[in-house]
Amino acid sequence: MKQFIISLAFLLLFSGIGLATEQRIISGTVSDETGSPLPGVTVMVENTSRGTITDLSGYYSIGVNPQDKRLVFSFIGMETEKVQIGKQDTVNVKMTNNQIACEEVVVIGYGTQKKRFLSGSISKAKAARTSYMVVNDNFDWNTENYSAIHENGFKNVSVNPLSTFSIDVDNASYSNVRRYLNAGELPPTDAVRIEEMINYFSYEYPEPLNEHPFSVTTEIAACPWNNENYLMHIGLKGKSFDKTELPASNLVFLLDVSGSMNSPDKLPLLKRAFKMLVNELRPNDRVAIVVYAGAAGKVLGSTPGNKKTKILDALEKLNAGGSTAGGAGIKLAYKIAEENFIEGGNNRIILATDGDFNVGVSSTSEMERLVEQKRNNGVFISVLGFGTGNIKDDKMETIADKGNGNYSYIDNIQEARKVFVSEFGGTLFTIAKDVKFQLEFNPKQVKAYRLVGYENRLLNDEDFNDDKKDAGEIGAGHTVTALYEIIPAGAGGDVPSVDPLKYQTSKNVTGENSDELLTIKLRYKKPDEHKSILLELPVQNRLNTETSDDFRFSAAVASFGMLLRKSEFMGNTTINSVINLAESAKGADSEGYRSEFVRLAKTLDNLEFVAEEK
């Protein structure tokens, strides 16, 4: 009998342990005071490291144990909410604005500063309806850098019949702009690169059917912000591959662990993002990890993709501290990439940083020369930006551009998933490099034209045929979109002009091909070749009366960018016209990115800053 009681006691004890550690799932949605969903809200189990982030619909799902007491909901600019777990499986939370009354905050160029740090005469900016204003007590200045953008104007076809530029599949500008607007701030004007905002979204272009690695699509209709003009939409679609068909990868993670990365939206988010990428690796892929702070060092040698635990452990042990020896880190990363080079494979460094390089090789020009030299050896570099207040956008964009890579800005875990999971092939696998556009406009049909965006991708006309001239890359499955606003021949209004030439005359166009609006020419190289291939496509002067979702949505994003930039070319654009145009063009929107854009446009509508004299 005694033995039976002891056995029963042990049975009850271990049953109790099983019950005590049994986990269940709690899910729900998080919204603001108006009921609008809040993406990017951090949801943590109190006093643990277990957490998640709400998706684009404000939805979350998290595992809890019986001993867990509360969930903590936090979002920048909002009051933190702590909710008792109890026995319910659904917990919906409504968050309220954080009312900051301790001192006056003045909105200035690239962020906010407390008034006591300013001198001279200033104007206060009062928000009529303010959403989620950011005040970060950890720093009192903002050191973010952006290259100046001088917006493209109209070109007279009789003087400038050719328009030449390099493609761009970077999308950092959109997620960076989203970060500002979600924080209740207007982005700096030069942070708004319209072509990157357009190219953040994917479009339903057809797969290539011939020998070229991408298809070309055109669509022409009345310009939404100026009905007297045309808008031409050009789309490229890179050939899609099944993940198993992609070549093996030799990757080097080059990770900034300097003191400036010691922030929840920097190194902790970086770790979670790269864990997603590690989970996508195949056994024939390899990963090494290099870090840099006060000095650069290798924390993981080149490791096969099937040893995920080893790679993840190395990531998890990273901590932030020290200065930023970025130049030394890049040199070491290239050395390791070259030592493990895979012929015919994807040899790439992925640099993740808040952009600061303050020890060793640090100037933009020095970095540019270094990555240009190494790309010729077949090792490319992509760049991921993290965090706020310290982004060196100009430097990071240059490194990715000159290093034959992509530049993305990671503002939340959903963006990390988009870059590393949803767009895995396009982010990592180049199918065509040095891709250049050259459009020749027919003066019998076109009076003037304007390329929307791509200001820092313009090329000289003679660069088109120069195979030594670097240009952009397109990845597997990626789409690239460009818009031209066109003033048709015979339209009224002034266009830029020059005096008649003294020593030569322009050749008159014959009547042949007079129905053609323009001709599109493309040059590209295969990833492992140095001689370009030419693709030519004439475009007829035929306007569509009914436009595709892709045409209208890209036009809505362009209008939004022009509105943010206060562009002189935005015509009759209003925030309501942007919202209406985008809502009519959401299409299937399986990932919800177009719906998120509409929400972002509505957020801008709520940011009405009124200048007042002090």
pLDDT of residue 506: 62
pLDDT of residue 147: 87
Is residue 103 predicted with pLDDT exceeding 60? no
pLDDT of residue 335: 92
Among 82, 130, 83, residue whose Cα is nearest residue 105: 130
Q: Answer yes or no: are the C-beta atoms of 248 and 369 closer than 8 Å.
A: no
- 248/227 Cα distance (integer angstroms): 49
Mean of per-residue pLDDT scores for the chain: 82
Which of the four pLDDT bands, split at 50, 70 and 90, describes residue 25?
A: confident
> For 282-291, how does the pLDDT look when each residue is reduced to its tens digit (9 = 90+)?
999 999 999 8
Backbone φ, ψ for residue 380 (5° rounding): -100, 165
- 124/127 Cα distance (integer angstroms): 10
Which of the four pLDDT bands, split at 50, 70 and 90, describes residue 314?
A: very high
Task: Calculate what percentage of the chain has a pLDDT beyond 90.
Answer: 43
pLDDT of residue 139: 38
Is residue 128 predicted with pLDDT exceeding 90? no
Which of the four pLDDT bands, split at 50, 70 and 90, describes residue 119?
A: very low
10 Å Cβ neighbour count for 304? 15
What pTM does this model have?
0.75
- CA-based Rg of the chain, rounded to a whole angstrom? 27
- State mean pLDDT over 124-133: 33
Which of the four pLDDT bands, split at 50, 70 and 90, describes residue 19?
A: very low
pLDDT of residue 108: 31
pLDDT of residue 48: 79
- 141/138 Cα distance (integer angstroms): 9
Backbone φ, ψ for residue 493 (5° rounding): 95, 155
> For 517-528, how does the pLDDT look when each residue is reduced to its tens digit (9 = 90+)?
999 999 999 988
100 vs 601 pLDDT, higher one:
601
To the nearest 10 degrees (0 to 180), the angle between helices 364-375 and 326-339 is 0
- State mean pLDDT over 176-183: 90
> For 558-595, how does the pLDDT look when each residue is reduced to its tens digit (9 = 90+)?
999 999 999 999 999 999 999 999 999 999 888 889 99
pLDDT of residue 320: 76
> For 218-259, how does the pLDDT look when each residue is reduced to its tens digit (9 = 90+)?
999 999 999 999 999 999 999 988 877 888 999 999 998 888
- State mean pLDDT over 52-73: 84
Q: How many residues does the chain have?
A: 614
- 216/232 Cα distance (integer angstroms): 13
Is residue 429 predicted with pLDDT exceeding 60? yes
Among 99, 48, 39, 40, residue whose Cα is nearest residue 70: 48
